[in-house]
Amino acid sequence: MREGCSVTAPYPQEDSMTVRRLLALACSATLFTAGAAVAAPAAGPAVSIPKAQWPFQATTVADFDEPWAMTFLPDGTLLVSEKRGALMRLDPKTKRKSAITGVPAVAYGGQGGFGDVLAHPRFAKNGLVYVSYAEPGEGDTRGAAVARAKLTLDATGGGTLSDLRVIWRQDPKVTGNGHFGHRLAFGPDGKLWISSSERQKFTPAQDMKTNLGKLIRLNDDGSVPADNPFVAQGGVAAQVWSLGHRNILGLAFDSKGRLWEHEMGPLGGDELNLIQRGANYGYPMVSNGDNYDGTPIPDHNTRPEFAAPKISWTPVISPAGFVIYSGKQFPAWRGNGFIGGLSSMALVQVSLGDQPRELARYDMGARIREVEQGPDGALWLLEDEASSSTGRLLKLTPKSKAAVENDA
User: Please, which pLDDT band fits residue 43 given cuts at 50, 70 and 90?
Assistant: low
- Identify the pLDDT of residue 113: 98
Q: Write out the E strands in 22-121.
A: 42-43, 56-63, 67-72, 78-82, 86-91, 96-101, 114-119
Of the given ranges (41-55, 63-77, 261-275), which has the lowest mean pLDDT? 41-55
Domain ranges of the chain: 17-48+64-317
pLDDT over threshold 50, residue 66: yes
pLDDT over threshold 70, residue 324: yes
Q: What is the dihedral of CA 32, 33, 34, 36, to 10 degrees?
A: 100
The DSSP call for residue 346 is: E
Query: Which tens digit of pLDDT belongs to each residue from 271-284?
Result: 999 999 999 999 99
Contacts 24+ apart (CB under 8 A), 295-298: 296/1, 296/2, 297/1, 297/266, 297/269, 298/1
> Region 211-220: what's the mean pLDDT?
99
Separation between Cα atoms, residue 384 and residue 394, nearest integer Å: 12
> Region 374-399: what's the mean pLDDT?
93
Separation between Cα atoms, residue 134 and residue 111, nearest integer Å: 9
Q: Centre a 10 Å sphere on the Cβ of residue 338 and count the other Cβ atoms it contains.
A: 27
User: Please, which pLDDT band fits residue 200 given cuts at 50, 70 and 90?
Assistant: very high
pLDDT over threshold 60, residue 3: no
> Region 228-257: what's the mean pLDDT?
99
CATH class label, 17-48+64-317: mainly beta
263, 319 Cβ separation under 8 angstroms: yes
User: Please, which pLDDT band fits residue 32 given cuts at 50, 70 and 90?
Assistant: very low
> Region 209-220: what's the mean pLDDT?
99
Query: Which tens digit of pLDDT belongs to each residue from 255-266?
Result: 999 999 999 999
- Provide the annotated active-site residues: 179
Non-local CB neighbours of 227 within 8 Å, separated by 6+ positions: none
Q: Kindly calculate the radius of gyration of the chain based on its CA atoms and give it in whole angstroms.
A: 20
- Identify the pLDDT of residue 156: 92
With 0-12 CB in 10 A as exposed, 13-18 as middle and 19+ as buried, what is 137? middle
User: Mean pLDDT for the chain?
Assistant: 90
- Identify the pLDDT of residue 400: 75
Q: What is the dihedral of CA 345, 349, 350, 353, to 10 degrees?
A: 170
What's the predicted TM-score (pTM) here? Answer: 0.89
- Identify the pLDDT of residue 25: 39
